[in-house]
Structure 1
């Protein structure tokens, strides 16, 4: 039975995670989940830097480097929120190249990327070998989906985080970063906003996480 998540502000979150990660032996799998614009990459990088400074080996993975090609991402239609949740990521490749080899019984031989979003091109980078003692930090959307749970229905992450950010804030951040519409109700971004709302309503990631962070 999964326990009730801890709920902390950003300032207390890094020490909380660091203390629990340092207690663990072997490879530790950490997920940083949240909506687009929640600050996942920034927070994951900060956690990685703090752990590295503490002398731990850290492997950083971004789920955005495991996208499906456009023919799959848009097979339910370019405006489909359901398609955005179901078809954005290549879960099979992510499981084969990251989760299985870096898991507790894995061989440690992994690939950090399978796709280049900038060029919309598949990748086959060289295999890397992880040390037996390492922290694997993955940032990305939809990391609490049932497809990333084990055969017993339990999440595969040793620790997982949900970054709590209102859509008004996350969409504004994306507008500043990417020049996208600055209104969550704008129909030009409805596929993405409504898809993420669908994920939250179906999965309740804040309930599945070990730590919920107010990141706004």
Structure 2
């Protein structure tokens, strides 16, 4: 395994180039930016918007955090159950139905950008939006891989256990066993098309076999 430091600007350019490659074979490009909140997958998604638009690509940002199940289901086993966080919090069926499947070949392109406001525990009632053909969907969030969700490109932001613990706020450290289980069972670094080491999110490094 080779680990090569890369600036955040060059990283955004590299991922944008990989998206361009994927766009040659698909009407839309669905990209997963997978990582714990401490790894800042949303920040990478934000950094990709302008490079992609400069390439003439319409972009739609979606956060997996807006596709969580209602509290009655998420918190059935308590507020700090790591296994429930791993298995039950993400409504992957809704993410597939409302976001990813409409961008299958022959799909409508009509996407629901958010479904559930977890803080208010109610539907967001967001309107549907249409992503033009040739557009790019950027989905950021945690624990996205290994769920058989259809993405043309997957990027995993990897943190070692010590770094993840160091960067995770005290009131969220109950989730750490879920990420340890994810590493052991899903092995996201092996599944992802691109793996980026972000033990210090300010200084990413490209991980290559």
Verify same fold: TM over 0.5: yes
Q: Does structure 1 retain, via aligned residues, the 8 Å contact 2:58–2:131?
A: no
CA distance in 1 between counterparts of 2:30 and 2:46 reads: 15
- Return the offset for 1:170: 3.6
Of residues 151, 164, 170 in structure 1, which corresponds to 2:158? 164
CA distance in 1 between counterparts of 2:35 and 2:3 reads: 14
Q: Which residue in the other structure is 1:202 paired with?
A: 185
- Return the offset for 1:196: 1.3
- Return the offset for 1:171: 4.1
Q: Report the aligned-residue RMSD.
A: 2.1
CA distance in 2 between counterparts of 1:72 and 1:111 reads: 21
Aligned length: 194
CA distance in 2 between counterparts of 1:108 and 1:138 reads: 15
Q: Which residue in the other structure is 1:21 paired with?
A: 19
Change in 2 beyond 3 A, CA 1:169/1:125: same
Q: Does structure 2 retain, via aligned residues, the 8 Å contact 1:8–1:211?
A: no
Q: Deviations over 1:33-76 (max 9, x none)?
A: 01231110101110122212332111111000101111111123
TM-score (norm 2): 0.84
CA distance in 2 between counterparts of 1:189 and 1:137 reads: 25
CA distance in 2 between counterparts of 1:104 and 1:7 reads: 35
- Return the offset for 1:117: 2.6
CA distance in 1 between counterparts of 2:28 and 2:44 reads: 20
Change in 2 beyond 3 A, CA 1:118/1:190: closer
- For structure 1, list consecutive stretches of 5 or more residues without a partner in the other structure: 149-155, 176-180, 182-187
Secondary structure of 2:48 counterpart: helix
Kindly report structure 1 stretches of 4+ aligned residues shifted beyond 4 Å: 5-8
- Return the offset for 1:80: 2.1
